[in-house]
Structure 1
Amino acid sequence: MRIAPLSFGLMLALSTPVLADPVIFAAASLKTALDEIATDFTAESGVKPLISYDGSGALAKQILADAPADMFISAATDWMDQVEKAEYILPGTREDFLGNTLVLISDKADPVEIADLPEKLGSEHIAMGLLDSVPAGQYGKAALTHLGLWDKIEPQVAQAQNVRAALALVASGEAPYGIVYKTDAAAEPKVHVVATFPEGSYPAITYPIALLKAGPDAEGAKAFYDYLTTPKATALLEQQGFEILKK
């Protein structure tokens, strides 16, 4: 007789005690995919991750100020480096999790040559994440600098709290263009990808993940950490446009 494989939720229920709801700090660009994954995880395990989304820099600063979080998923390695250097990471749990691509978006579908962006902007603004703390903003500045466009565009940059806030400025028509990740553009039907920044014009976009030492629910966080690499979760992330780095 063939025995059906156990589901993730059943395996979790059989192998662990009742878990509390873990607190997850995650880059804002993960919201669409991670909310859906968390819903599936809760349905299977009964554990509900409490996810706080923001720019990676803002989240890292909260962790360094002893915010009670169990896991951190950053959209850039440098913010995770700072958290690790301060010894907030549970040893052996940091891994490169996801990759992404930087794109130019508009509320109109007309393709744009990135070299023509200053002319296209005219006197209007381009939405970007905060340049000093939001990875998407930092990657965008790096790309524009590499392409020789930053000095022309800098005065017209409208800085947003995080990449999803920059996305919202374009979706609402408040800014005609914005720089976000490919996955953000896929999550918002009111915007269009009008150009993709060339590979090599900005540092490789890497999302590191790690469990944190001082979190209130290490076991629940570890269960969710493991769930993120299940076939169901990785398939959803790939559907959203992420590259899977942690198998």
Structure 2
Amino acid sequence: MRSVRAVIIAMVLLVGLHGCDVGRSEGGKQPVELTVSAAASLQDALKEVKTAFEHEHPNIRIHYNFGSSGALQKQIAQGAPVDLFFSAAVLPFEELKKEGLIDSTHEKTVVANELVLIVPKQEEGAIQSLDDITRAKRVAIGIPESVPAGIYAKQTLERAGLWENVEPRLVLAKDVRQVLTYVETGNVDAGFVYRTDALVSGNVHIAAAVPDEMHEPIVYPLGVVKTSKHLQEARQFYAYLTSEQALKQFEQYGFRRAH
């Protein structure tokens, strides 16, 4: 009986020791976990980038915090533990630079995007141009105060002389992906999103592409956050995000290279 009991105890100890190794990288060390705050419009491309990067760097794990760039900027400014910031607009990024929170040696504008007007797939043809938006009963845009896509949409409507007409019928969304959802589900008649968002959905139709001169340039600056506790690893991921391999992945999702 004693020998049987000893064998059982030994097996339990072995299982316990094996369990301690679960999630460890090569070399027996726990992987470094990086938190990347990124604009909602980047999520599909960044998930693919994460898979490729982690395959090449088993000692690093990437965790994303997606949202509107303005909201993410405020979180970082208030001390949220973030290692990299990938914004969909220059202003939130510049605000963090002014506060000395971005590593000036590791910052770059990586990709660009395009604003489009979308309608539900089943309503294709109802709205075919920017001017046709006056026919819509409800139009979704991101909250202009915090969502870059909302800022670009407001600029577009103002420059087209349509803002006062459309404003009473606006449905405001917390980020660009919520705008996409509102249009997909038919809760609104039209909405402004990035081309990359429209391309990942089979339930919307691009009614019109907005000319670049109708709004500020849609570019995505990336930077390492100075307060990161893992600067070396954060800089490694930064290097990958700005590499030729990553740029090709972004292009597959409809992004353009920033000039």
Conservation of the 8 A alpha-carbon contact between 1:56 and 1:79? yes
1:29 aligns with 2:45: no
| 1:114-147 per-position Cα deviation (integer Å, ceiling 9, x unaligned) | 112112x0xx211111111100000000001000
From 77, 84, 92, give the equivalent of 1:71: 84
Q: Which residue of 2 aligns with 1:3?
A: none
User: Who is 2:8 aligned against?
Assistant: none
Alpha-carbon deviation of 1:221?
Answer: 1.4
Could you tell me how far apart the structure 1 residues matched to 2:217 and 2:53 are?
29
Is the 1:22–1:218 Cα contact (8 Å) retained in structure 2? Answer: no
Measure the CA separation in 1 of the matches of 2:200 and 2:84: 24
Within a 5 Å distance, the mapping from 1:98-113 to structure 2 comes to: 98-108=111-121, 109-110=124-125, 112-113=128-129
Match among 61, 70, 75 for residue 74 of structure 2: 61
Alpha-carbon distance in structure 2 between the residues aligned to 1:127 and 1:200: 21
Post-superposition offset of 1:25: 0.5
Distance 1:73 1:29 in 2: 10
Which structure has the larger Rg over C-alpha atoms? 2
Query: Which secondary structure state, in structure 1, belongs to the residue aligned with residue 53 of structure 2?
Result: helix
Where does residue 217 of structure 2 map in the other structure?
204
> Does the 8 Å contact 2:133/2:190 carry over to 1?
no
Match of residue 43 from structure 1: 55
The answer to whether the 8 Å contact 1:19/1:220 transfers is: no
Percent of aligned positions that are identical: 35
The CA deviation at 1:216 is 2.3
Matches within 5 A, 1:157-172: 157-172=170-185
Contact 1:23 1:215 in 2 (8 A): no
Aligned CA-pair RMSD: 1.7
Contact 1:19 1:219 in 2 (8 A): no
CA distance in structure 1 between the aligned counterparts of 2:159 and 2:61, rounded to whole angstroms: 43
Matched residue SS, 1:25: strand
| Matching residue's letter, 1:215 | S
Residue 149 (structure 1) aligns with: 162
TM-score normalized with structure 1 length: 0.88
Identify the residue that residue 7 of structure 1 maps to in structure 2: none
**Alpha-carbon offset, residue 230 of structure 1:** 2.9
Match of 2:201 among 173, 188, 193: 188
Give the deviation of 1:231 after TM superposition: 3.0
Show CA shifts across 1:70-115 (max 9, x none): 1001111011111010111112222111111000011133251211
TM-score (norm 2): 0.84
Q: Secondary structure at the match of 1:215?
A: coil
The worse-fitting range, judged by mean Cα deviation, of 57-66 and 228-237 is 228-237
SS of alignment partner, residue 104 of structure 2: coil
Looking at structure 2, the residues matched to 93 and 223 of structure 1 have their Cα atoms a distance apart, in angstroms, of 10
The DSSP-based 3-state class of the residue aligned with 2:32 is coil
Q: Which has the higher strand share?
A: 2
SS state at 1:91 partner? strand
Q: 2:233: which partner in 1?
A: 220
Unaligned runs of 5+ in 1: 1-12
Counterpart residue number, 1:117: 133
User: Larger relative contact order (C-alpha < 8 A, sep ≥ 6)?
Assistant: 1
